Structure 1
Amino acid sequence: MNVSPEPEAVVPKQRNQFDFAWWWDRVGILMVLILLIVLMSIFAPNFNRVDNLLNIARSISVNAILAAGLTFVILTGGIDLSVGSIVAVSGVVAVIAAIAGVPAPVAVVIGMAVGGACGLVNGVLIAYLALAPFIVTLGTMTFLRGLAYTITNGQPIVSSDLNFKDLGNGYLLGIPVPVIAMGAVFLVAWFVLERTRYGRHVYAVGGNAQAARLAGVQVNRIILSVYVVAGICAGLAGVIFAARVISAQPTAGTGYELDAIAAVVLGGTSLVGGRGRIVGTLIGAVILGVLTTGLILLNVQFFTQLLIKGVVIILAVAIDSLKQRPELLSVLFGRGQGPSKS
């Protein structure tokens, strides 16, 4: 008589085992931010001044809004390299609409709609034609940058009386309007990801798309939607940027996609998808903003700033790798045991 083998017992994780992923997401990233603020307060002149802190918050807003949208994409295991170019195109279209006499709220909505349309194109190509996100968004990044140059004929379009300029330069109750917009975006993103069925589906698709499909999740629709979300956020960021400089700049957003991706990964969202927190993304964006402003106040040369930012991006990817492969920590620090020999 054949006896079926007993199932293997599941060995629970030891309580004293160091969980780097949990520690970094909950504690580590916040400690890095606090340490960075302390260092800049000590060494960077005038860093603690209220007007400087408000300027830091305002400068963070564009990258943070981009990162919020990218969090949705990266949670599904995707990537979007086109958001920087969407910033340019959306800002250009919004400024042209405003100059043509369109009311300010409508011009802002038009800019966001342009961003959403660009995200829709990315989503259709990736979700329904099964094209690689990296290649698709690399192509749309180049195309949209060329489109921004074509629309403006390669020259900035300046409007000193831009009707939505307060969106980039105004204050409400002493708080910069871009900071309020950033806070609203993150509040909505937090609610959607943490408190809605749609948010659970986003995490499910990133964790295991095939299992999510078998569970009844419309995987293609979710993938399509996250690129639209990223496009809308990039559109809003583009309108805010245009309002800040009171012009349409075809060069706007150049390189912003890298800063946004770095903020997302620094904040604890895994590049392979399925794991991350929108609050962490905000902290990651603040870290990059504080670092950039502090280096400027310290009179660090621009090319040296690029070197430092490059190191930060590499560290962000390395941290993500450590989170996905805890056995590396065991090798590095001598924790845990090697494979058992039979």
Structure 2
Amino acid sequence: MSPAPSPSPRRFRAGRLHGHFIGTYGLLALTVLLFLVFSLVLPGTFPTRDTVSSILSNQSIPAVLALGATIPIASGKFDLSIGYGLGLAHVLVLYLIVDGGWRGWPWPLACLVVVLGGTLAGAVNGVLVEFARIDSFIATLGTGSMMYAVTGWITDGSRIVPGPDGLPAAFTGLYDARFLGLPVPAFYVLGLVVVLWVVLERLPFGRYLYVIGSNPRAAEIIGIPTHRYCVYAFAGSGTVVGFAGVLLAAQQQIGNPSVGLDYLLPAFVGVLLGSTAIKPGRANALGTLVAVTVLAVGLAGIGQLGADFWATPLFNGGTLLIAVGLAGYSARRRLRTDATATGGPPAQRRTAAAEDGGGAP
């Protein structure tokens, strides 16, 4: 039996380079394409400084939350409590500033306590997942439900409204201020992307998380303390969620006990879609940023086109399905490419070798 002809090296390299370029930069190219399309359709309103400023401001909190969710997903775990944690954090910081004690807490102390509380909540999630051996979906859904209960207990089911003097200007400035003509939250997002890129791509911590997410058993064999690093990942996610809650409180300036759940789906859409870009096949900070930008441009465009309120969840849900489909397609394509490079699947190579009278490769 004659072996199947293999593709020429030049054609193989060209196909692999083309696939690599699409997988790495395709989502970024889609962002530019969407912006150009909406600019042509809405030339008077979309390609303006106000639109760009609005996108950077309105999408900063979903971006921060998506970046927080990226950390445990890198280790192969999901934190479904981030939406509930966001709601609890933003309510708690407003409660401490407005009602905490005789005149309320100083806002820097309230923010610090909430961020540290997010770290603690994330660590609890990690302990439940790694040491109590509860699936991450179930564990974080359970703790998220408990967070929602605490939110209702703090607010008694009603909104937290500041007094006549309002909130401190320095606190609301965390969200409202501008730097270099752009909203300050955009710089928070960029700073967080840089930090996560360094941690996940350049430090041993990130490499360990990727190994754990790829093959936990192999990670244990080579000596990586998988349980400890997964707890660290959840704690890091909780820290970012606490920070996002502070930003949400500075934006809303009113404590709404049900607002956090609206950010859960966009955050996971951003992470999963981002795993198909820049570093295809794994969650990464730059890919998450590109994915959030795609979502932001798309939502801004359909909003200016006058879409109804249901268009936003439809867009997010459809994008999530596309993201998961692209991730699966990318993984299958990578496997086929590797099989082609090595002469076919292992079983096929062994069969061909046996028919030719040789041994296993």
Equivalent AA in structure 2 for residue 117 of structure 1? L
Q: Are 2:119 and 1:116 equivalent residues in the alignment?
A: yes
Give the structure 2 partner of residue 6 of structure 1. none
Give the structure 2 partner of residue 223 of structure 1. 230
Give the structure 1 partner of residue 38 of structure 2. 40
Q: Distance in 2 between matches of 1:305 and 1:97?
A: 33
Q: Are 2:109 and 1:106 equivalent residues in the alignment?
A: yes
Comparing 157-166 with 312-321, greater Cα deviation is found at 157-166
| Contact in 2 for aligned 1:90/1:238 (Cα 8 Å) | yes
Give the structure 1 partner of residue 178 of structure 2. 171
Give the structure 1 partner of residue 320 of structure 2. 313
Mapping 1:18-37, distance limit 5 Å: 18=16, 22-37=20-35
Equivalent AA in structure 2 for residue 161 of structure 1? G
1:64 shift after superposition: 0.8
Q: Distance in 2 between matches of 1:274 and 1:210?
A: 19
Secondary structure of residue in 2 paired with 1:301: coil
| Contact in 1 for aligned 2:265/2:316 (Cα 8 Å) | no
Equivalent AA in structure 2 for residue 26 of structure 1? T
Q: Distance in 2 between matches of 1:176 and 1:304?
A: 26
Mapping 1:34-113, distance limit 5 Å: 34-44=32-42, 46-99=45-98, 100=100, 101-113=104-116
| Contact in 2 for aligned 1:25/1:268 (Cα 8 Å) | no
Over residues 165-219 of structure 1, what are the superposed CA-to-partner deviations in whole Å (9 max), with x where a residue is unaligned? Answer: 1112122332212112212211111111122111111111112111111212110
Equivalent AA in structure 1 for residue 67 of structure 2? A
1:25 shift after superposition: 4.1
Q: Distance in 2 between matches of 1:194 and 1:161?
A: 43
1:304 shift after superposition: 2.8
Equivalent AA in structure 1 for residue 31 of structure 2? L
Mapping 1:242-321, distance limit 5 Å: 242-268=249-275, 275-321=282-328
Q: Are 2:167 and 1:162 equivalent residues in the alignment?
A: yes
Q: Distance in 1 between matches of 2:262 and 2:308?
A: 18
Distance 1:154 1:231, change over 3 A: same
TM-score, length-scaled by structure 1: 0.87
| Contact in 1 for aligned 2:74/2:284 (Cα 8 Å) | no
Equivalent AA in structure 2 for residue 262 of structure 1? V
Q: Distance in 2 between matches of 1:62 and 1:151?
A: 23
Give the structure 2 partner of residue 206 of structure 1. 213
Q: Distance in 2 between matches of 1:184 and 1:254?
A: 25
Q: Distance in 2 between matches of 1:74 and 1:20?
A: 28
Q: Distance in 2 between matches of 1:203 and 1:169?
A: 36
Distance 1:198 1:337, change over 3 A: closer
1:143 shift after superposition: 1.9
Q: Which has the larger radius of gyration?
A: 2
Gaps of 5+ in 2: 1-8, 338-342, 353-361
| Contact in 1 for aligned 2:274/2:287 (Cα 8 Å) | yes
Gaps of 5+ in 1: 1-11, 331-335
1:306 shift after superposition: 2.2
Distance 1:182 1:125, change over 3 A: same
Over residues 133-184 of structure 1, what are the superposed CA-to-partner deviations in whole Å (9 max), with x where a residue is unaligned? Answer: 1111121222212221221011111226222111121223322121122122
Q: Distance in 2 between matches of 1:241 and 1:178?
A: 11
Secondary structure of residue in 1 paired with 2:122: helix
| Contact in 1 for aligned 2:23/2:330 (Cα 8 Å) | no
Q: Are 2:173 and 1:188 equivalent residues in the alignment?
A: no
Equivalent AA in structure 2 for residue 130 of structure 1? R
1:258 shift after superposition: 1.5
Distance 1:19 1:122, change over 3 A: farther
1:269 shift after superposition: 5.7
Secondary structure of residue in 2 paired with 1:247: coil
1:33 shift after superposition: 0.8
TM-score, length-scaled by structure 2: 0.83
Secondary structure of residue in 2 paired with 1:15: helix
1:315 shift after superposition: 0.2
Give the structure 2 partner of residue 240 of structure 1. 247
| Contact in 1 for aligned 2:276/2:330 (Cα 8 Å) | no
